[in-house]
């Protein structure tokens, strides 16, 4: 434990954002040995987290993916757009490589599973505080064929089916078949939603 503490400042301010109060209590206890003067603030929803940010400068935010008033990734993206410079790591019950990929794509510096034990949690938080980017769970191959990935990228550029078919030398019917598969994979019904969800998952 001492090896971790010597690498960090003696004083740190962390913001923990999660709607499970018992989990927050346990997390605070697990993080207590990080440094001699550790100040931990907690928020149970996005609104409270934003209020905390307006009042205090934090060294790191640990953010849950699922909040009652806003998805964690949406909140993270809003902070990015507002120019907040506080590092953010996602702390989630999910161990999905796709969720980790989406979190890093949205600007998180790390993806830490809630299943991590105390030592692993402190080590991960220390690495993020020292400026490292944690890769999260091993990246899985996208559940798309190379052709579907090409079509998805062209779709994101706003090309209609006719131009996509011309670009890839495929018939429009073939493009429609691939799009149908993409819609089913992403559980969407429109081109706009397809692109939006693909971006949220870090596929674009």
Domains in the chain (CATH in brackets) are 2-129 (3.40.50.2300), 146-200 (1.10.10.10)
Q: Say how far apart CA 94 and CA 113 lie, in whole Å.
A: 7
Ordered DSSP codes for 61-106: EEE-SB-SSSBHHHHHHHHHHHT--S-EEEEES---HHHHHHHHHH
In whole angstroms, how far apart are CA 48 and each of 5, 54, 67, 132, 179? 29, 10, 11, 27, 40
The model's pTM: 0.66
Q: What is the pLDDT along the chain (204 residues), one digit of tens a residue?
A: 444 444 788 999 999 999 999 999 999 999 999 999 999 999 999 999 999 999 999 999 999 988 999 999 999 999 988 988 899 999 888 777 777 878 888 889 988 888 888 999 999 999 999 988 887 665 444 677 889 889 999 999 999 999 999 999 999 999 999 999 999 888 899 999 999 888 877 777
Three-point CA angle 104, 150, 134, nearest 5°: 15
Do 200 and 73 meet the contact criterion of CB atoms below 8 Å apart?
yes
Do 43 and 69 meet the contact criterion of CB atoms below 8 Å apart?
no
Give the pairing of strands 37-43 and 110-113: unpaired
């Amino acid at each position: 434990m001492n090896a971790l503490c010597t690498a960090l400042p003696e004083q740190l301010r962390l913001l923990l954002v999660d709607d499970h109060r018992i989990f927050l209590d346990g997390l605070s206890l697990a993080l207590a040995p990080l440094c001699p003067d550790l100040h931990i603030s907690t928020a149970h929803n996005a609104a409270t987290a934003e209020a905390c940010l307006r009042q205090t400068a934090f060294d790191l935010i640990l953010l849950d993916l699922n909040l009652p008033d806003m998805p964690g990734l949406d909140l993270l993206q809003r902070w990015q757009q507002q120019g907040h410079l506080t590092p953010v790591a996602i702390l989630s019950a999910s161990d999905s490589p796709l969720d980790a990929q989406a979190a890093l794509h949205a600007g998180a510096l790390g993806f830490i599973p809630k299943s991590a034990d105390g030592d692993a949690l402190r080590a991960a938080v220390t690495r993020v505080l020292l400026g490292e980017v944690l890769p999260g769970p091993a990246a899985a191959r996208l559940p798309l064929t190379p052709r579907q990935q090409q079509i998805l990228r062209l779709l994101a550029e706003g090309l209609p089916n006719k131009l996509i078919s011309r670009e890839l030398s495929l018939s429009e019917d073939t493009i429609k078949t691939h799009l149908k598969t993409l819609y089913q994979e992403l559980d969407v019904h429109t081109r706009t939603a397809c692109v939006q969800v693909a971006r949220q998952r870090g596929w674009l």
